[in-house]
Amino acid sequence: MHIQLGPDAPLLARAAVTSILVLHIGAGCVGLGAGAVALATRKGERAHRMAGNAFFGAMLTTLAIGAAAAPFIGQPVNTFGGLFGIYLVVSGWATVRRPEGPAGRYEIGAMVVPLAAVPLLLAFGWMGAHAPGGTIEGVPYLAAYIIAGVAACAAALDLSVILRRGVFGAQRVARHLWRMCLALFFASASLFIGQPQVFPAPLRGSLLLLALAFAPLALMIFWLLRVQFTSAFRPLPAPAE
């Protein structure tokens, strides 16, 4: 994220922008670290829950700043990407924080977010596809289409939970996993692919950075397969009141 100020900008404005940028980057780094710990530890254990809570808070912070700042740096698509990321983190976290039980107003309200995002993202994608270079302010139009497709899938799965009157057992853990891992992928791709200039020149565009960016997706698939097709996982307990 790069917010440019004019040379005559007040010192207070420069300090505010710098503070926001540091908070955005710092929260993103904490989110990446906490997400890695959460994936590496046994699901349901204390270390996993602590890392998950740190990931939740850090990702909300960095995504909210990114979504709010995107219109001011000419990247409106990233606003919807950030809001969708917040939806993923909140709904994934709430899935295991709330006790098993019937779906209610929360699930119905949550489904509104991806449903509202899909047509807007498709519109941005169409605009980008017909713009010179196939981009919207530097963002490839395919990014809007991809996020729209994922949002549509998320809305469909939310509807499935509502129609089945809740989510239980392995399905509950799987819902938590894929949403958190996808949000972690947004953060890792934003750093390792979207910000290559922060790495030494020999690493820029390397397979190592690509591997780090896509590691959350690979681990998501691993854990989903393990949860769905083995009995090795331990269901996440409801938090103590």
Q: What is the pLDDT of residues 62-110, one digit of tens each?
A: 999 888 887 777 677 778 778 888 999 998 888 888 777 666 677 788 8
Tracing tokens 């709010």 back to the chain, one arrives at: 68
The predicted structure's pLDDT at residue 13 = 63
| Measured distance CA(117)–CA(124) in Å, rounded | 11
According to DSSP, the β-strands at 135-136 and 139-140 are antiparallel
Cα distances (angstroms) measured from residue 238 to each of 14, 200, 233, 241: 45, 44, 15, 9
pLDDT above 70 coverage of the chain, percent: 86
Phi, psi of 213 (to 5 degrees): -65, -40
How many contiguous H segments (helices) and E segments (strands) does the chain have? 7, 2
Q: What is the pLDDT of residue 241?
A: 43
Contact 80, 117 (CB under 8 A): yes
Is a pLDDT exceeding 70 seen at residue 166?
A: yes
Mean pLDDT of all residues in 140-146: 85
Q: Average pLDDT, stretch 50-65? A: 92
Provide CB contacts within 8 A for 200, sequence distance 6+: none
Please report the pLDDT score of residue 88 as a whole number: 92
> CB atoms < 10 A from the CB of 45, how many?
12
- 4, containing H or E segment: none
- CA neighbor of 56 nearest in space, from 84, 35, 77, 83: 35
| Mean pLDDT, range 203-213, rounded to an integer | 89
Measure the CA–CA gap between 214 and 208, rounded to whole angstroms: 10
pTM for this model (two decimals): 0.81
Could you tell me the pLDDT band of residue 112, with boundaries at 50, 70 and 90?
confident
pLDDT on residue 7: 59
| pLDDT for res 139 | 73
Q: Residue 173 is which amino acid?
A: V
- Is pLDDT of 55 > 90? yes
Q: Does residue 10 surpass a pLDDT of 80?
A: no
Instruction: Provide CB contacts within 8 A for 84, sequence distance 6+.
Output: 113, 114, 117, 147, 150, 151, 154
Q: Residue 192: CA atoms inside 13 Å, Cβ hemisphere, count? A: 19
Sign of CA dihedral 9, 12, 14, 17: negative
